[in-house]
């Protein structure tokens, strides 16, 4: 059963992503809702303190535009959009209530309060029925402190879809409302006065929550550590901007639509003359367009080398959604014959972030793929957006949104696993998992003298900059503005990279 559960969960991870639209065939209601698929896992703790998987389930939870949360009970029949329905669904896909993380947080909170306890009770019954324990007392620790028997893990979102009841879709096809017509106000969209608002760009730095203390460089602080998503339709469609049109590759339609909606939600104009999403022909990496504009670099409440916080204007660029994987780096090694200094293929780790790579090795890979390393300013803009957030997902640290200690990934994790940790532009793994090399030389005082447009870092130096933190890091190292640096020859099992173009 455990293997079946793993297969089902993996299937949902592959098929469902933000922007997926389903139609509930038998649904006659008027309101659309978000359907979250949550992985709920329980481990068993043996008498020696070891932990192993015991029960893993997929739980479906729906959250409607009014904020009502309920589990999906009974059999439901869903289908994809048919010809002509995409236009009808677009107003819902772009609705304000889809832009934030509130619905997802409500689904997770509901699971913790309701469905996870039920799962735990059932697991206890299963354990007793299976007679795994002849005498439950053997699981008690020494003395009076009992050792936990069943350990529930926090629920994890493995897929999410927008669901439109067939009855509502039929009604829409008759009335054909425009995206801003307001015909569905209070029915399919949140009522007037909803506190959910679209994102806005800032023209000046916003105040940040203070960082508790000055912190030193990550690597010098731990000298004892040993260094060792969805197929598209069959035909291309087009985004129109005036008289200019850009054909969308069939296999990128879903990603293109999702990124367009994401940019609109940030109050940005969707450029019709530029591809919003591109796939690299050499390494297969998926990159999203980060539009030109101002944002605040650094943190007045951060470490000394993060000061002063200042507005920058960065031109548009593409950034890979995920860090480079072992499979991608292995392809580079095979194609070029390059002999890495420390990187080695990881058995069963094709989708893990590639680590043990120096800055120069990262640069060589990017050059081979026809790409480059992002600048420090580009990296931070893609991570925090224009609202001066502390972490890619917001101002409060949430371990469920990143590959960090305690998330069952006490090591490098598969890239792109933590969808809920996406940055405002939809870029993943920008906090946790692995530190990432960027192009710049490091200068502790560079922010006080850097240009206000497309800064490239100091002209020379001894160290290169690293960003993003790693799975082993304390949350204070995972802030968007946190800077780390190492000699360009340095290799570490905590360091990887991603590419830009």
The string of pLDDT tens digits covering residues 258-310 is 999 999 999 998 877 789 999 999 999 999 999 999 999 999 888 999 999 99
Whether residue 164 is found in the same domain as residue 286: no
Model confidence pLDDT, tens digit, residues 210-228: 444 555 666 655 443 333 3
Contact 413, 494 (CB under 8 A): no
In a domain, 263, yes or no: no
Give pLDDT, residue 193.
Answer: 28
Q: What does the pLDDT read at residue 20?
A: 75
d(CA 44, CA 328): 36
Which range among 5-19, 164-178, 233-247 shows the weakest confidence by mean pLDDT?
233-247
Is 298 within a domain?
yes
* Averaged pLDDT for residues 32-52: 79
198 versus 9: which is more confidently predicted?
9
Same domain? For 483 and 352 the reply is yes
Residue 171 is predicted with a pLDDT of: 67
State the pLDDT confidence band at 231, using cuts at 50, 70 and 90.
very low
What pLDDT is recorded for position 249? Answer: 82
pLDDT score of 178: 40
What residues make up the domain containing 287? 218-227+280-497
- 132 has a pLDDT exceeding 60: no
Residue 476 lies in a domain: yes
**Residue percentage of the chain with pLDDT more than 70:** 73
Whether the predicted pLDDT of 240 surpasses 70: no
In a domain, 264, yes or no: no
Q: Are residues 56 and 168 in the same domain?
A: yes
DSSP structure string for 317-338 = EEEESSPPBHHHHHHHHHHH--
Q: Name the pLDDT band for 158 (thresholds 50, 70, 90).
A: confident
State the residue for tokens 């772009």: 94
Mean pLDDT (whole number) for 11-28: 69
pLDDT of residue 214: 58
Q: What is the mean pLDDT of residues 324-342?
A: 95
Q: Is residue 373 part of a domain?
A: yes
Residue finishing a domain among 141, 175, 209: 175
Q: Which of 146, 175, 204 is the last residue in one of the domains?
A: 175
Angle formed at CA 36 by CA 33 and CA 40, multiple of 5 degrees: 155
pLDDT exceeds cutoff 70 at 9: no
Same domain, 147 and 223: no
pLDDT at 2: 60
Identify whether 197 is part of a domain. Answer: no
Answer whether residue 13 is part of any domain: yes
Number of domains in the chain: 2
Same domain, 88 and 24: yes
pLDDT at 207: 39
Q: Dihedral angle at the C-alpha atoms of 280, 286, 290, 296, nearest 10 degrees?
A: -120
Residue range 298-311, pLDDT digits in tens = 998 889 999 999 99
Do 382 and 290 contact (CB within 8 A), yes or no? Answer: yes
Task: Give the pLDDT score at 133.
Answer: 45
Confidence of residue 430 (pLDDT cuts 50, 70, 90): very high
Task: Note whether 223 and 168 are same-domain residues.
Answer: no
Mean pLDDT of 97-106: 66
Q: Which residue has the higher pLDDT, 485 or 231?
A: 485
**What pLDDT is stored for residue 363 in this prediction?**
98
| 223 & 171 share domain | no
Q: pLDDT tens digits, residue range 165-202? A: 887 777 665 544 343 333 333 223 222 222 222 222 22
Give the per-residue pLDDT at 233: 29
User: What pLDDT shows up at residue 205?
Assistant: 34
φ/ψ region of 476 (left if φ > 0, alpha if ψ in -120 to 50, else beta) reads alpha
Same domain (yes/no): 362, 425: yes
Residues 63-95: tens digit of each pLDDT:
887 778 989 877 788 888 887 777 777 666 655
Would residue 297 count as lying in a domain?
Answer: yes
Q: Are residues 167 and 313 in the same domain?
A: no
CA proximity to 298, closest of 209, 205, 417, 372: 205
In this structure, are residues 285 and 328 in contact, taking their beta carbons and an 8 Å threshold? yes
Q: Which of 294, 293, 414 is nearest to 354 (CA)?
A: 414
Quote the CA–CA distance of 273 and 405 in Å, as a whole number: 43
Q: Average model confidence (pLDDT) for the chain?
A: 78
Q: 334 and 397: one domain?
A: yes
pLDDT band at 460 (very low <50, low <70, confident <90, very high): very high
Tokens standing for residue 330: 């292995």
Q: SS3 helix, strand, coil % of the chain, rounded to 5? A: 25, 20, 50
Give helix 166-175 / helix 85-93 axis angle, nearest 10°: 100
Q: Residue 131 — very low, low, confident or very high, per pLDDT cuts 50/70/90?
A: low
Instruction: Report the DSSP beta bridge partners of residue 56.
Output: 41
Which CATH number is 402's domain given?
A: 3.90.1580.10
- Tens digits of residue pLDDT in 352-403: 999 999 999 999 999 999 999 999 999 999 999 999 899 999 999 998 899 9
User: Mean pLDDT across the stretch 47-63?
Assistant: 80
* Residue 50 pLDDT > 80: no
- Average pLDDT value for residue range 122-140: 58
Rg of the Cα trace of the chain?
24
- Size of the chain, expressed as the number of residues it contains: 501
End-to-end CA distance of the chain: 44
Grade residue 29 by pLDDT with cuts at 50, 70 and 90.
low
Residues 167 and 302 in one domain: no
Last residue of a domain, which of 114, 145, 175?
175
Average pLDDT estimate for 489-494: 93
Residues 355 and 422 in one domain: yes
Average pLDDT over residues 229-239: 30
Q: Measuring CA to CA, which residue among 21, 18, 387 is closest to residue 198?
A: 387
């Amino acid at each position: 059963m455990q293997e079946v559960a793993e297969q089902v969960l993996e299937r949902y991870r592959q098929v469902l992503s933000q922007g997926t639209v389903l139609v509930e065939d038998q649904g006659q209601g008027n309101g659309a809702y978000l359907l979250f698929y949550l992985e709920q896992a329980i481990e068993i703790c043996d008498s020696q303190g070891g932990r192993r998987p015991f029960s893993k389930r997929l739980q479906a939870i729906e959250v409607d535009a009014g904020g009502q949360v309920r589990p999906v009970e009974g059999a439901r029949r869903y289908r994809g959009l048919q010809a002509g329905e995409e236009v009808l669904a677009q107003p819902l896909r772009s609705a304000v209530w889809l832009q934030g993380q509130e619905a997802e947080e409500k689904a997770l909170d509901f699971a913790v309060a309701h469905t996870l306890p039920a799962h735990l009770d059932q697991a206890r019954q299963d354990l007793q029925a299976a007679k795994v324990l002849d005498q439950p007392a053997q699981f008690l620790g020494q003395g009076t402190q009992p050792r936990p028997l069943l350990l529930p893990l926090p629920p994890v979102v493995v897929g999410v879809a927008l669901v439109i009841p067939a009855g509502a879709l039929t009604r829409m096809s008759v009335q054909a409302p425009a995206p801003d017509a307001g015909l569905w106000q209070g029915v399919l969209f949140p009522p007037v006065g909803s506190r959910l608002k679209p994102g806005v760009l800032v023209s000046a730095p916003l105040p940040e929550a203070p960082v508790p203390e000055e912190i030193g460089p990550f690597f010098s602080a731990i000298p004892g550590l040993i260094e060792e998503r969805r197929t598209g339709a069959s035909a291309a469609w087009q985004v129109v901007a005036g008289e200019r049109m850009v054909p969308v590759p069939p296999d990128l339609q879903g990603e293109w639509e999702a990124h367009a909606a994401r940019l609109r939600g940030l109050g940005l104009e969707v450029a019709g003359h530029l591809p919003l999403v591109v796939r690299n022909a050499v390494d297969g990496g998926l990159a999203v367009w980060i539009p030109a504009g101002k944002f605040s670099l650094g943190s007045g409440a951060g470490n000394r080398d993060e000061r002063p916080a200042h507005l920058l204007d960065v031109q548009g660029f593409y950034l890979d959604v995920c860090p480079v994987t072992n499979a991608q780096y292995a392809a580079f090694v095979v194609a070029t014959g390059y002999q890495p200094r420390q990187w080695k293929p990881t058995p069963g780790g094709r989708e893990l972030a590639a680590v043990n790579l120096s800055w120069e090795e990262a640069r060589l890979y990017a050059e081979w793929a026809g790409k480059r390393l992002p600048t420090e300013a580009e990296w931070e803009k893609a991570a925090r957006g224009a609202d001066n957030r502390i972490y890619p997902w917001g101002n409060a640290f949430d371990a469920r949104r990143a590959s960090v200690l305690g998330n069952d990934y006490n090591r490098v994790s598969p890239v792109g696993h933590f969808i809920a940790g996406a940055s405002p532009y939809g870029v993943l793994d920008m906090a946790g998992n692995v530190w990432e090399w960027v192009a710049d030389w490091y200068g502790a005082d560079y922010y006080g003298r850097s240009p206000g447009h497309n800064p490239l870092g100091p002209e020379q130096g001894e160290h290169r900059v690293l960003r993003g933190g790693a799975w082993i890091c304390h949350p204070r190292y995972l802030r968007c503005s946190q800077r780390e640096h190492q000699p360009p020859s340095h290799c570490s099992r905590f360091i990887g990279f991603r590419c830009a173009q």
